[in-house]
Structure 1
Amino acid sequence: MKSTLTKKEDNLVSLNIVVPAKEADSAYNMAVSRISQHINIDGFRKGKAPKAVVERHVGVDRIKQEALEMILPKQLNQAIYDNKLDVISQPAITDYQFEAGKDLEVTVEVETRPEVKLADYKNLNVKAEVPAKDDEAFNKALEGFLNQHASMELVLDRPSNETDTVVFDFDGTCNGEKIQGGSAKGYSLDLAHSNFIPGFAEQLVGHNIKDEFDIQVTFPEDYHDEKLKGQPATFAIKLNEIKQRVLPELTDEFVKSVSRFSTIDELKADIQDYIDHQRESLKKSAGEAAVFKSVVEATEVAIPQRMIDREIESLKNEYQQRLAYQGMDWKTFVDAQGGEEAFAKTLQEDAKARIKNSLIIDKIAKDENISVEQSDFSEKLSQMASVYGVEPQQMLKQFSQNPEILSSLSQQIINDKVRDFLVNNNNIEYVEITTDKEAVEA
């Protein structure tokens, strides 16, 4: 076998592969035999019909296709190896000459990995922003723990406040017409965490049980129902119940009854460990992002539109799967992103960013000899198995049935190892920033 390479535009390469006549004829005859074993021809048992009869029955072109499928993968892999190509797409046969007794000539087009002109990615000086330490984090976490085990008690002697949960009936109208889906009885709403339109929950504060009253609201301009966008509405309210959250008393007995800890001190130590771990994790992520952003911005890579288009389709499929899970239709989602044109632009930019990031990670991994070791794979499986509550071997068995998942898992490991490499080989200054809320309170 010999091959000739011709470079084309946008990282496309044309390979002309020549297979000796003897090898090509052998593949053709094997294809005849294989096909004859799976078809019924009058007067012959399966696999016993002469070649000429099989050719007349199924056609020479089909036999040639079968022969190509048998012989080409090996020849193509050898041609790719001989020409040191880094192929990133499925090969496409653009032409072939296949005649008995003659050398087989096949022209195949493949797409190669774009050249990545890496900027400096070691010994950089970068700044990473992290939120300032929250001195109230521990108290908030402890309060959150107590809230998980709080009880709801009826309130009979005061009006509702902004931290209560209320049960009420409502009936909405807009421009004199009933709002479709705008009424309910016995609806329960946590006033502190309302997902109703702005101004609705706030007007339920300050009322007593059995009060009947109207509230006035305006639907947001970006509301999903075209008829209601920006429109004023009135809701007739009847308040049925007021409930307040009552926190349990924090004692050793309580802690033991609701957790794996025996004392308050053990619980508090675990909360502090969790906060410290979260902060370190946040710091690490910020450092990784800062270094990687610096490398990406300084790296040059020309990405063919063909690659971008494939990535856009992949992104669309991911969105559609998530939307199907959430019960949202595609048009509603696209409209919420600003319409077809705006969303298409977003997809284009996101696809280019994903491709560039992936190419840079692969290039650094190659240059630094970063690879997936068995220990890396075992550790990743153990982490995932722990999350899903199964044994690592059980998860490996499931993954082994889907090569795409194994490939994705390997890529995740490479991504993590490259990002760890970047953090360990650059100088990162962590800068604490104050959130807008903290600045106002100060």
Structure 2
Amino acid sequence: MKSAVETLNPTRVRLTVEVPFEELKDSLDAAYKKINQQVTVKGFRRGKIPARVIDQRFGRGAVLEEAVNDALPKFYTNAVNEAELNVLGQPEVDITELKDNELLAFTAEVDIRPTLEIPDYSGIEVEVDAVEVSDEDVEKSVEQLRERFATTAVVERAAVDGDVVTVDLEAKVEGEVLADGIANGVSYTIGSGELLDGIDEAVTGLEAGGSATFTSELKGGSAQGKEASVKVDVTEVKARELPELDDEFAQMASEFDTLDELKADSRKRLERMKKFDQATQAQEKVLEALLELIEVPIPEKLLEDEIRTRKHNLEHHQLGQMGLDLVKYLEIQGKTEEEFDAETKEQAEKGIKTQFVLDELVNKEKLNVSQEELTEHLMRRAQSSGMSPDQFAQAVVEGGQVPMLVGEVARGKALAVVVEAAAVKDTNGEVVDLEDEEETEAAEAVVAEAEGADEKAEKSEG
């Protein structure tokens, strides 16, 4: 077999392959055997029909077609390996010559990963937010914990913001009560925004036994998206009572004996969260700076496929779970379809560039992924997906996503290498020294987000 490579552009090549006919012998034998099992000829047992009879009855062309279809993938793969090409996607194959007992010639056009030169990235400098936890941050955190331990008590007064009201609802569209438009005994916290637009204003000021009518766009049900006239009857008003902030509360709400100990723990927890946010910010900014240093040509078809995949996952998985379609989503986001398409293209380009550049770094730095690193990454991904590690691992294996996870870990390690070489300072001018665990976890998360890996995993799990 002889092969030659012609570069069409930085991301596409044309292979020209010539195969001497004797190299088709195994595929020809397989073709005769296959046809033998599929046809019957009077006077011959199935599987025992001579090749000359098959040629006479069904034509030599049918045999050649079967043999070529069997042989092409092998010869194409040999040509790719011989040329040491890193191909993307399926090739477009064209048989240019087929001479019986002489020659098979074909061309194959295919996208390839571009050859990238990774420049010196040690000069990258980024600034991130300083890790600062104020007394107000701690007070807010403790107040949120206090809210979780609030109790309610029935009151004989008009409802105010923050009260919990029990209401009966009746929705009408064009004067007709909807079959699914009646709900009784609904508990609602005024100001939470968890029910219908307009209900806060309608029930505020009402006592038990009071009624009001308001207009709202329905968020679900048979008349989703339509304007409805909604009658609300308040049957009960409860005031929320917060526990006193003292040592007794600390003992009830935590493992600590005193309120001071609870506040000190809240401060440490907030510092850890802000350090992780800082590490994530550093990874994102360093990645942006790295991508700006390198010109990355992107295969057109790969970009089209990536855009299509991202749109499909958004429409059929993420939005579907929220009961939204693309039109409603864009309306909520305040975007036009053109703006959405432009954003999706930009995100897809960044995802592909991220993968190409970091994969090149993985090779350059000879980075490997250990079983322990893969397991830790799988545990983190399982936690973020809301699945148990066993469930997530099973979904990953069944969806053929193990290489994707290995790639995420490797690319996360590559990004961490760049971050370590970069100069990272906070807004106070202090040099930021990221902890290894935070750096690794943040890097993997940033890579996964840039590549849209969460959505792709979600699709495979669904």
* Fold agreement, TM-score > 0.5: yes
Residues 1:278 and 1:253: Cα distance change in structure 2 (over 3 Å): same
Q: 1:7 touches 1:14 (CA, 8 Å); kept in 2? A: yes
Residues 1:340 and 1:386: Cα distance change in structure 2 (over 3 Å): closer
Residues 1:199 and 1:3: Cα distance change in structure 2 (over 3 Å): same
SS in 2 for 1:37: helix
Cα distance in 2, alignment partners of residues 156 and 226 from structure 1:
35
Indicate the RMSD between aligned Cα atoms, in angstroms: 3.8
Residues 1:200 and 1:341: Cα distance change in structure 2 (over 3 Å): same
Cα distance in 1, alignment partners of residues 81 and 122 from structure 2:
31
Cα distance in 2, alignment partners of residues 402 and 271 from structure 1:
40
Deviates more, 1:69-78 or 1:187-196: 69-78
Deviation at 1:254, TM superposition (A): 8.4
Cα distance in 1, alignment partners of residues 158 and 131 from structure 2:
38
Cα distance in 1, alignment partners of residues 177 and 134 from structure 2:
44
Residues 1:336 and 1:115: Cα distance change in structure 2 (over 3 Å): farther
Cα distance in 1, alignment partners of residues 77 and 34 from structure 2:
23
Residues 1:262 and 1:38: Cα distance change in structure 2 (over 3 Å): farther
Q: Tell me the equivalent position of 1:363.
A: 360
Q: Tell me the equivalent position of 1:323.
A: 319
- Note if 1:309 corresponds to 2:301: no
Within-5 A mapping of 1:282-301: 282-301=277-296
TM-score of the aligned structures, taking structure 2 as reference length? 0.76
Within-5 A mapping of 1:235-314: 235-247=230-242, 261=255, 271-314=266-309
Cα distance in 2, alignment partners of residues 150 and 121 from structure 1:
53
Matched AA of 1:323: L
Cα distance in 2, alignment partners of residues 391 and 184 from structure 1:
39
Residues 1:333 and 1:396: Cα distance change in structure 2 (over 3 Å): closer
Deviation at 1:411, TM superposition (A): 1.8
Q: Tell me the equivalent position of 2:162.
A: 163
Within-5 A mapping of 1:22-37: 22-37=22-37
Q: 1:6 touches 1:15 (CA, 8 Å); kept in 2? A: yes
Q: Tell me the equivalent position of 2:111.
A: 111
TM-score of the aligned structures, taking structure 1 as reference length? 0.79
SS in 2 for 1:413: helix
Cα distance in 1, alignment partners of residues 405 and 298 from structure 2:
25
Q: 1:118 touches 1:300 (CA, 8 Å); kept in 2? A: no
- Note if 1:124 corresponds to 2:124: yes
Deviation at 1:7, TM superposition (A): 1.8
Q: 1:117 touches 1:301 (CA, 8 Å); kept in 2? A: no
Residues 1:29 and 1:253: Cα distance change in structure 2 (over 3 Å): farther
Q: 1:95 touches 1:107 (CA, 8 Å); kept in 2? A: yes
Within-5 A mapping of 1:186-201: 186-196=185-195, 199-201=198-200
Matched AA of 2:160: N
SS in 2 for 1:136: helix
Per-residue CA deviation, residues 111-152 of structure 1 (Å, 9 max, x unaligned), is 11134455542232211236753433444434434444544x
Cα distance in 1, alignment partners of residues 268 and 38 from structure 2:
66
Cα distance in 2, alignment partners of residues 386 and 84 from structure 1:
39
Q: Name the % identity.
A: 25
Cα distance in 2, alignment partners of residues 173 and 399 from structure 1:
46
Return 5+ residue gaps in structure 1 as ranges.
433-442
Matched AA of 2:305: R
Cα distance in 1, alignment partners of residues 265 and 35 from structure 2:
67
Cα distance in 1, alignment partners of residues 268 and 73 from structure 2:
55
SS in 2 for 1:377: helix
Cα distance in 1, alignment partners of residues 245 and 39 from structure 2:
78
SS in 2 for 1:47: coil
Q: 2:164 touches 2:238 (CA, 8 Å); kept in 1? A: yes
SS in 2 for 1:300: coil
Cα distance in 1, alignment partners of residues 57 and 306 from structure 2:
43
Residues 1:386 and 1:331: Cα distance change in structure 2 (over 3 Å): closer
Aligned residues: 420
SS in 2 for 1:8: strand
Residues 1:62 and 1:189: Cα distance change in structure 2 (over 3 Å): farther
Deviates more, 1:322-331 or 1:83-92: 322-331
Return 5+ residue gaps in structure 2 as ranges.
429-462
Matched AA of 2:410: I
